[in-house]
Structure 1
């Protein structure tokens, strides 16, 4: 039980922990008695104890963690992305079994840390952080007073291969399927996401301007379904190069008649046939963003065209110096230094 302390004024004040905010700062509820005697000390402590008991009775969640997660998902099913709902349900079945039958009110930080340590042994830091994110989100709703200070695995910078201009030329020369050709053009010069490409229809075009407003994703039943774009920024108008629009302007209905997984599978085969270094279909977006950055296009325009809501992704992933551009820029610098040293 919290102990009251005497203030300079002679009053007694007793503080009880209330909650920890998002910045990690602890907040307390204060109870004061103006009786300067020992009775005032007991009064302040009694008020604090009563408040704490009432808070505990109201905040003590009767659910198990599994039930709380299920309710959390159900309450947000109409607003969260289909892929997010699918991942939450998968995580409940596979990753969060250790917490499934524990009452939310009984979960300890040590149990969470133990689970995270266990998962870190065979899962990537990103996956482990996603698992912890789900736990944190549920507890924030059903046990908001609980402060988590879990030690998480250190993030590992992604090792990405950014295709060069020459890679793109070789790739385009080896594609003999029209659907795949259009898919690659839209990803490399859009840049559109794989899911957006599969959702693009002929009615989405006004001349060479494509309205990106839907995506094709897997639902929890592993069926491909249409949904709105990944974010508000994802719903956008993209002016495509004329040579890209020329390939799609005579198509009716879905522009690319392939499912997202078919695009990825066929892309792997094409890369192997080309003899190019391995890279993913999604890396074509990296190529487009990196080229725009190398050309000096401001981030705001790159973000708008690519459908990014913030420049976080650009800073962490897309600002990779392309090998050929890097050599070119290094030569410019070296030529400058050589001229400087040759001045007599």
Structure 2
């Protein structure tokens, strides 16, 4: 059957539309077409139908139909252009699919590709509660920057925080980038959108004396070793919760960070650590951290013996009394309680990670080593987070460079001062000679 045809808006006696009349129609096709089409070449308009690939979500074949051409020649030319776009990969897929239909299929693909459960939960919440209710009915191919801009403005006007608005925008932009890569849209229209500014969050850290005061106050609590290890290693909460005894090497005095346990709602999920560079990283530990782990292991062994057969030991380092691994939220809640009762300045558990970085940088440890211990993706991330601490390190470096040289002799110092007095407020003779200013 020819895919070039004519069609009109005439209806049969039963109210149904007549069928199309293909360019090379069979007797059966003529029987269902409008009788006027068959005798009047100017009646109706021309159109075509070609295959346009498969649906982005369902995988079903897409049939591209175009109508409204005044002549057969116009329909043939447009058909040829469409076929060429499909063959070259430039055809913009199913132009009927809406944002609301596309986003779930995009998210499912991300999940299959290994998207972290916590990130999936965040994306799904933003899609279902924010994006789809606002712009879900708009066709993907018809979404424009003014749609996205108005959506962002509406979120801000509704009182949503700048950080949340940016995350919602990032979710939509990621989906549209994938649509552009799949040739479903011409470009990512979420790019170049004005977003609300977020003030740089100041990292809160305690002075070293306050850290020691906290550790002393927390020493009577069962989870004290968890907090000691957080201060002395900078491990994330999920990494501490996922630490196993097989990852602890007392001989080498180091930990290997192989997995993390993150809390998504009420569910705790174990998986790879946050960054590729942080995966399987080795973190050396000092004597105090080793002592804390040894004390914890002795206590855990005693609990195992006390609980007997009902003890649930799976090899995790930090567990409840019955051997179950600690839930990440339990660690944070216990920390908050201790801080509140101690009367110390408020901090979150995650701030202990910043505390570790601060202690290292203040002690003159190279930023590359700090970045490696923390498992940051790049040194630039570490530098951006702790730039205020690097200022002090720079000052200390300047003093250290001068301290290497032997002190000036008294004779030289007196001569220099006398020369400067003779020259008045201008440059010294040594400086003039060096710069060429004495010529």
TM-score using structure 2 length? 0.59
- Give the structure, 1 or 2, with the largest relative contact order (CA under 8 Å, sep 6 or more): 1
Matches within 5 A, 1:184-263: 184-207=227-250, 208-219=253-264, 222-235=266-279, 236-249=281-294, 250=297, 251=300, 253-257=315-319, 258-263=326-331
Matched, 1:103 2:103: no
* Aligned counterpart, 2:162: 125
* Structure 2 spans left out of the alignment, 5+ residues: 1-76, 302-314, 320-325, 418-439
Q: Give the 4+ runs in structure 1 shifted more than 6 A.
A: none
* 3-state SS of paired residue (2:317): coil
Judge conservation of contact 2:360–2:370 (CA < 8 Å) in 1.
yes
Judge conservation of contact 1:125–1:156 (CA < 8 Å) in 2.
no
* 3-state SS of paired residue (2:138): coil
CA distance in 2, matches of 1:244, 1:61: 60
* Aligned counterpart, 2:333: 265
TM-score using structure 1 length? 0.75
Q: Following TM superposition, by how much is the alpha carbon of 1:53 offset from its aligned partner in structure 2, in angstroms?
A: 9.2
* Structure 1 spans left out of the alignment, 5+ residues: 1-45
* Aligned counterpart, 1:86: 121
Judge conservation of contact 1:82–1:218 (CA < 8 Å) in 2.
no
* 3-state SS of paired residue (1:210): strand
Q: Following TM superposition, by how much is the alpha carbon of 1:144 offset from its aligned partner in structure 2, in angstroms?
A: 4.5
* Aligned counterpart, 2:173: 136
Q: Following TM superposition, by how much is the alpha carbon of 1:57 offset from its aligned partner in structure 2, in angstroms?
A: 4.7
Judge conservation of contact 2:263–2:329 (CA < 8 Å) in 1.
no
Judge conservation of contact 2:228–2:292 (CA < 8 Å) in 1.
no
Deviates more, 1:146-155 or 1:184-193: 146-155
Match of 2:359 among 280, 291, 294: 291
Aligned length, in residue pairs: 292
Could you list the per-position Cα deviations for residues 272-322 of structure 1 after superposition, in whole angstroms to 9, with x for gaps in the alignment? 112111111111111111222222222221111111111233233233339
* Aligned counterpart, 2:108: 74
* Aligned counterpart, 2:187: 146
Q: Which of these two proteins has the greater Rg computed from alpha carbons? A: 2
CA distance in 2, matches of 1:77, 1:179: 38
CA gap 1:152/1:233 in 2 versus in 1, 3 angstroms: same
Q: What's the C-alpha RMSD, in Å, of the aligned pairs?
A: 3.3
Judge conservation of contact 2:232–2:285 (CA < 8 Å) in 1.
yes
Deviates more, 1:96-105 or 1:109-118: 96-105
